[in-house]
Structure 1
Amino acid sequence: MAQIIDNSDAIEPIFKKLQETFRTHKTKDVNFRKAQLRNLLKGLEEMEQELHQALQEDLGVTLFSSQMTSTIITKTDVENQLAHIDKWSKEESVDTPFVIGPGTSKIIYEPLGVVLVIAAWNYPLYTGIPPMAAAIAAGNCVILKPSELAPHSSQVMYKLVDKYLDKSCYAVIQGGVEVSKKITTFAFDLIIFTGSPEKGKLVARAASENLVPCILELGGKSPTIVDKDCSLNVTAQRIIQGRFTNAGQTCVACDYVFVHESIKDAFINEMKIEIKKFFGENPQNSPDYSRIVTTFHTQRLEKLLQNHDGQIVLGGQVKVNEKYVEPTIILEPNQNSQIMTEEIFGPILPVFTFNDIGKVITFINSRPKPLALYYYGNNSKNKKLLEQQTSSGAIVHNDSVFHLLNPNLPFGGVGNSGYGAYHGIAGFKGCSHAKPVFNKSTLNIYPFNIRYPPFTKHKLQTLSLFFKFAELPQRHVVNATLFISFLVAMKIASKKGYLKRFLEISKPYVDKLWNSANL
């Protein structure tokens, strides 16, 4: 097994070096950022086999699985940042209210500084490189801290960054618990953390000592609702994929299911059929079924299966030494058991029944806010109720997990499942400071000088009138003024005969142009 050295003394010199680099403004150059993203893509392509081998050794995933859930989607995320960086990094002009004009206003998206990315062990590549790419695209220096629970992936990611990116701007710091504890005490300009709510609280607490902002991508128990009008076959396939991919070690996995009472038996039967199709008679022998990351976590899942007061209708077998937990479905476990109060993070799926969607909503709202909520069915009223009356990081209809692959949707939690977001433009903006710039004209005549003392009743009345139209954009006032001025000028010109004379003089030229156009 790969060994990760837990040396917290390595943090400070690397952190200081990146701070010094950032102060040179090297990473603010958009062309430099683009070159680094291209290098990162090159590395992901050239090291794909090494990355897959590391993921296989850490998590037991197949080549197809590592491509679908790690390497391909990671490259796609980096490519998205590269494709839009020119547009996203441009200054953004905004309206100036007439009441504070005349002037111009704009927003500059500037990098924050040195960003720390702490990746998770369940998808080490996908939780490490995409947020790092967003920070690079935004112009930051970056330190990536992979999880020591995925040591092979950690070492390959170190090699990737060391070989393909500028060492003065970007670094990987490996390490265990001591490194993880110490690194969050440094005055980074942003921390992006992916992990459990418990660890997220520790990161936020440490970061608060230096007022470091955080983007926390946490987990929680993502509810899944199966309505009576769903497509049973499709629903079973997508829930199985969403729950049992990576042996259930996915932060947005379907954590428990509420299935309509009228289709409970059909749903359970369909789940059994599809699980057998996915992983065969014995999932332990399936090349497409992953293993639990450590013996400790396997033992934790074994304990959950021993204390739930429900009915195991499928699976239940655990082999601790082989880090294997069979795909398991439990019917009606005790709602106060650990399996229903803690994030499972394994291949175990509790199932409950319902008749009233309102009671399901009440149950969901009585628990911490989840990272995702899944609804299977076509009842538009129930869809709308869930969208309006529940709160979650995301809500997905008739699919599980795959909403993460849309770069146009922000990925993030709410409440106990985290705060802040990344992916696409959300990642770029999350790693930037939207700096407002207001450029005021030196024009200082009435009525723009009523802000100065001595204050009079007339000034107050004028100021009050201005604030009644505080939201009126300055450009509308300017356009209206120009239009009125034009009308006044035309009226004067007509009255003095200038307009008539102008039309007489210009008529031959207009006729000539008209005839030429007709030819």
Structure 2
Amino acid sequence: MYESLFNRQKQFYQSERTRSLPFRIESLKQLKRAIRYYEDALLKAMKTDLNKGETEGYLTEIGYVYNDLNLSMRHLKKWAETEKVKTPVSHIGSTSKIHKEPYGVTLIISPWNYPFNLAIGPLIGAISAGNTAILKPSEHTPAISRVISDIISLAFPEKYVASVEGGIETNQSLLNLPFNYIFYTGSSHIGKIVMEKAAQHLTPVTLELGGKSPAIVTKNANVKLAAKRIVWGKFINAGQTCVAPDFVYAHASIKQELIRHMKYYTEKFYEEPFRNGGYMRIVSEKHFERVKDLIQGDVVHGGHADPSTLSIEPTIIDNVDFGHDAMQEEIFGPVLPVLEFDSLDKAILDVRDLPDPLALYVFTGNKAEAGNVIQSVPFGGGAVNDTVFHLVNPHLPFGGRGNSGMGRYHGKYSFDTFTHEKSILNQTTCFDFPFRYPDAKLFGKMIRYIWR
């Protein structure tokens, strides 16, 4: 179905125009100009699809993309330079270099929770590295996807970058094509399908998935500040954030104090927007029903849900254990379970028993405790005494491991992800060491001695 588009992009890539550094930089400028032109339309579309306000829309989506574009344009020349590396003594007379080479025709499949940011962010990396790209925005946010397609059409010819809208059938058709690289953001379930399809063509992939990201709060934490930052990270975007704290694991001695502060900040930040219809809604009726059904047990704050607007009040549930329904899968909504532990070592073992999360947050004033958690638990990335904010630093690689994904991006790491590093040894012809040849017995003994 999309074979013709794929072939046109393949031909354009083979023309080598996308490899030109001035062409790439100008393409990034074109993308930025097109986003600016459609900025108001984007914010309106975010309101239509997700009831996302302008301030949050700019903070979490558009502003982040501008920052990434500016960083890439400023540093692309340096990133793309051929890199000279050391050569061992056994290779005297030669030089060693790493050439930065684009993969070719790339596919980017983006999700609905941050439908603009998580579509354009990887695209910036693909363009910076010199690839062509087919972008598949989410069908669950149709207004935003329409504006994304308008932006791409304004900025680029289809033979270079194209946006393709559609549902599951579109994804399936695209995944049948022999792309040179695939970048997918979404659920672990679909991630497995993407990887299986990619394997048929031996196509390398980046999978940005999710998981049950814990916020561990020890007895040595600044409890009030921990509550404030956990509440913000959890309930922004109506909890539909892949690195949101999925549950709180608090020391028994401070748990009730933590809950008291979390209730205070939840009311302060979100009560009025929810009552006035300004809080973000759940993306679909299916997801609304799934999240709503997790509100059970000892609800200490919130719990209200409005099916007419698909909005769920920020909710905190106390006295939860690992058998609770909310602990069986990633919540991806504004419901926050709170568990308690008596021993940090036991808490670490409990978290390690779960699939590797995309993020982990530890709140403590004790550096040894923080170091113990970071070293002992496998996870994608995270923060000490904060939540989510590590995502905004373009100098930190972002990505998961195991069940939460593979690969990394953001800033230079986006360029690296869409770049193949081609290793080249340039050997001298002025002389030739005989030790590597079969008849060089003496030299063979010498090199064995040197390499021991």
Equivalent residues in 2 for 1:480-495, closer than 5 Å: none
Residue 150 of structure 1: aligned partner: 141
Deviates more, 1:375-384 or 1:121-130: 375-384
CA distance in 2, matches of 1:400, 1:286: 26
Given that 1:242 and 1:401 are in contact with CA atoms closer than 8 Å, whether structure 2 keeps it comes out as yes
Moved over 3 A (4+): none
Residue 277 of structure 1: aligned partner: 268
State the one-letter code of the partner of 1:300: R
User: How many aligned residue pairs are there?
Assistant: 452
TM-score normalized by structure 1?
0.85
Residue 291 of structure 1: aligned partner: 281
State the superposition RMSD in angstroms: 1.3
CA distance in 2, matches of 1:219, 1:78: 25
TM-superposed deviation, 1:451: 1.8
- Could you say if the C-alpha distance between residues 89 and 281 of structure 1 is closer, same or farther in structure 2, counting changes exceeding 3 Å? closer
Residue 92 of structure 2: aligned partner: 101
Q: For 2:291, which of 301, 304, 308 is the aligned residue?
A: 301
TM-superposed deviation, 1:281: 5.5
Given that 2:5 and 2:158 are in contact with CA atoms closer than 8 Å, whether structure 1 keeps it comes out as no
Query: Secondary structure of 2:378's match?
Result: coil
Q: For 2:78, which of 70, 73, 87 is the aligned residue?
A: 87
Residue 454 of structure 1: aligned partner: 439
Gaps of 5+ in 1: 1-8, 469-519
Given that 2:434 and 2:440 are in contact with CA atoms closer than 8 Å, whether structure 1 keeps it comes out as no
**Aligned-pair identity (%):** 38
Asked if 1:436 is matched to 2:427, the reply is: no
Query: Secondary structure of 1:351's match?
Result: strand
Q: For 1:345, which of 316, 325, 332 is the aligned residue?
A: 332
Given that 2:434 and 2:443 are in contact with CA atoms closer than 8 Å, whether structure 1 keeps it comes out as no
Query: Secondary structure of 1:186's match?
Result: coil
State the one-letter code of the partner of 1:364: V
Residue 43 of structure 2: aligned partner: 52
CA displacement, residues 68-103 of structure 1 (integer Å, 9 cap, x when unaligned): 100101111111111110000000000111113320
TM-superposed deviation, 1:459: 2.6
Query: Secondary structure of 1:412's match?
Result: coil
Residue 331 of structure 1: aligned partner: 318
Asked if 1:249 is matched to 2:240, the reply is: yes
CA displacement, residues 281-321 of structure 1 (integer Å, 9 cap, x when unaligned): 6723252x210001111111122225xxx311111122223
Q: For 2:69, which of 78, 81, 87 is the aligned residue?
A: 78
CA distance in 2, matches of 1:68, 1:333: 33
Residue 26 of structure 1: aligned partner: 17
Given that 1:295 and 1:321 are in contact with CA atoms closer than 8 Å, whether structure 2 keeps it comes out as no
TM-superposed deviation, 1:158: 0.2
Given that 1:93 and 1:106 are in contact with CA atoms closer than 8 Å, whether structure 2 keeps it comes out as yes
CA displacement, residues 376-421 of structure 1 (integer Å, 9 cap, x when unaligned): 1211111010111111100301111111111110010011000000
TM-superposed deviation, 1:334: 3.9
TM-score normalized by structure 2?
0.97
CA distance in 1, matches of 2:37, 2:92: 55
Q: For 1:224, which of 212, 215, 230 is the aligned residue?
A: 215
Residue 42 of structure 1: aligned partner: 33
CA distance in 1, matches of 2:181, 2:319: 42
Q: For 1:194, which of 181, 185, 188 is the aligned residue?
A: 185
TM-superposed deviation, 1:259: 1.3
Q: For 1:123, which of 106, 114, 138 is the aligned residue?
A: 114
